[in-house]
Amino acid sequence: MDKNKRIFLVHAVKEYLVITGGAILAACAIYFFMLPSHVAVGSGSALAMILSNFIPLPVSVLSLLLNVFLLILGFLLIGPEFGAKTVYTCILLPGVLGVLEIIFPNFQSLTQDPLLDVICYILLVGLAMAILFSCNASSGGLDIVAKIMNKYLRMDLGKAGSVAGIAVALSSAFCYDSKTVVLSVLGTYFGGMIVDRFIFGLNIKRRVCVISPKMDEIVQFLLHDLHSGATINEIIGAYDNTVRREVITIVDKQEYRRLMDFVRRVDPKAFVTVYSVNEIRYQPKIPKM
């Protein structure tokens, strides 16, 4: 097998293993925390839970049917924008729910408190969605509805997802009491915030700018100790028109701590500015042989 094809295959296998782990985590959050509390935190699985009160089918089966229906609708109304990863997740998540229904039939709440169930659910689902997002995958369901609304109603994608989620949460009023409906709406709102926090928290890096007379030492530390890239700019101070050099680099949390320790050690008076960076796109450099 060609080396590049082998590398691509290994990367694809690793990526699908990560997606599988994210889907399993999401299914566990749904089965162990959302379903026992009946709190419909806006999602496709929440809609399936509500429908199970009217249609005598397990939530896993309804979730699968709903996902397949939405995938077909998405293909018809939007086009083939849904990649293999989304199709895989849409089928895998209900499948895992079905396995949990067999292993743990008639499962009751672990906490015996709907509020605690909601908190546990949104934390676990936030982490699961961040894992899927990092692999450019989604759980399907309401994500497809949001894309349809985005195309035909000209709504922002994030806003469309929130509207769809709140609509599902409010629909729980047909089946459950007012306390459950309120928890569903609040859970949907705060769940979106938690998902965003997890997503950006996994990818967050720091853009560090340093001005120092010890520039050569700092650059050598970046290149050879942190193995990080750097950009050097010539700048002119407005106060005295002195030409200085500024180094700019982007590092993760661990590298940031090491870099700051080094800068304090070699030049405690260095001028340093730090910015948060949520996403980076670049072509990795091929090491010289």
Has residue 271 been placed in a domain?
Answer: yes
Has residue 66 been placed in a domain?
Answer: yes
Has residue 190 been placed in a domain?
Answer: yes
N-term to C-term CA, the chain: 24
Has residue 282 been placed in a domain?
Answer: no
Q: Are residues 59 and 154 in the same domain?
A: yes
Q: Give pLDDT, residue 122.
A: 87
Q: Give pLDDT, residue 289.
A: 45
- Work out whether strand 243-251 and strand 205-211 pair parallel, antiparallel, or are unpaired: antiparallel
Q: Are residues 240 and 118 in the same domain?
A: no
Nearest in space to 128 (alpha carbons), one of 227, 80, 195: 195
Q: Are residues 162 and 243 in the same domain?
A: no
Q: Are residues 189 and 221 in the same domain?
A: no
Among candidate residues 202, 220, 236, the one where a domain is terminated: 202
d(Cα 91, Cα 84) in Å, to the nearest integer?
A: 11
Q: Are residues 41 and 147 in the same domain?
A: yes
Q: Are residues 196 and 224 in the same domain?
A: no
| Cβ atoms 230, 219 nearer than 8 A | yes
Which residue blocks in the chain are alpha helix, DSSP H? 3-29, 35-37, 44-51, 59-77, 84-103, 114-134, 142-152, 157-171, 178-203, 215-220, 253-266
CATH number at residue 235: 3.30.70.120
Q: Are residues 177 and 38 in the same domain?
A: yes
Q: Are residues 42 and 128 in the same domain?
A: yes
Q: Are residues 227 and 167 in the same domain?
A: no
Among candidate residues 162, 185, 202, the one where a domain is terminated: 202
C-alpha dihedral (273, 213, 229, 255), degrees to nearest 10:
-60
Q: Count of domains in the chain? A: 2
Q: Are residues 163 and 256 in the same domain?
A: no
Q: Are residues 218 and 174 in the same domain?
A: no
Radius of gyration over every alpha carbon of the chain, rounded to an integer in angstroms: 24
Along the 289 residues of the chain, how does pLDDT read in single tens digits?
566 677 778 878 888 899 999 999 999 999 999 999 888 888 888 999 999 999 999 999 999 999 899 888 888 887 766 667 888 888 999 999 999 999 998 888 888 888 899 899 988 888 888 788 777 677 777 878 887 887 888 877 667 778 888 999 999 899 888 988 998 998 888 877 777 666 666 667 889 999 999 999 999 999 988 888 899 999 988 888 888 899 999 988 778 888 999 999 999 999 999 988 866 766 555 444 4
HSE-up (13 A, CA, CB side) for residue 115: 1
Q: Give pLDDT, residue 287.
A: 47
AA identity, residue 87: V
Q: Are residues 122 and 170 in the same domain?
A: yes
Name 147's Cβ contacts closer than 8 Å, sequence gap at least 6: 74, 78, 81, 157, 160
Has residue 286 been placed in a domain?
Answer: no
Nearest in space to 67 (alpha carbons), one of 86, 90, 100: 90
d(Cα 180, Cα 192) in Å, to the nearest integer?
A: 18
Has residue 288 been placed in a domain?
Answer: no
Name the residue range of residue 272's domain.
205-277
Alpha-carbon dihedral sign for residues 232, 236, 238, 242: positive
> Distance of alpha carbon 208 from its chain centroid, rounded?
25
